[in-house]
């Protein structure tokens, strides 16, 4: 090989090495990022489960509270009406 071809081969080898190293580093970073995203997704799933449980508990309590509020409003209306007659 002549001198120009050897220089070209050396340049291409260096560029290929740089891209290979950058590719390995990028792959490691992407793997770490995907593991972090998986942990975040698991935590979000737990939070959603807790919110669903709280909403279900509130739904179970909301009915009796509405009935109680209804009776309290009736009682207040009756007592206000009786107080106005005297």
Predicted confidence (pLDDT) per residue in 24-74, tens digit? 999 999 999 999 999 999 999 999 888 888 888 777 777 777 777 777 878
Q: What is the pLDDT of residue 14?
A: 98
More confident residue, 73 or 1: 73
Q: What is the pLDDT of residue 51?
A: 86
pLDDT above 80 for 83:
no
d(CA 74, CA 86): 19
73 burial via Cβ count (<10 Å: 0-12, 13-18, 19+): exposed
């Amino acid at each position: 090989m002549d001198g120009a071809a050897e220089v070209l081969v050396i340049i291409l080898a260096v560029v290929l090495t740089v891209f290979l190293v950058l590719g390995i580093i990028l792959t490691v970073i992407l793997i770490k990022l995907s593991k972090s995203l998986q942990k975040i997704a698991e935590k979000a799933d737990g939070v959603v489960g807790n919110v669903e449980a709280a909403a279900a508990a509130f739904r179970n309590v909301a009915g009796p509270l509405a009935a109680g509020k209804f009776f309290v409003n009736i009682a207040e209306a009756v007592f206000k009406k009786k107080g106005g007659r005297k």
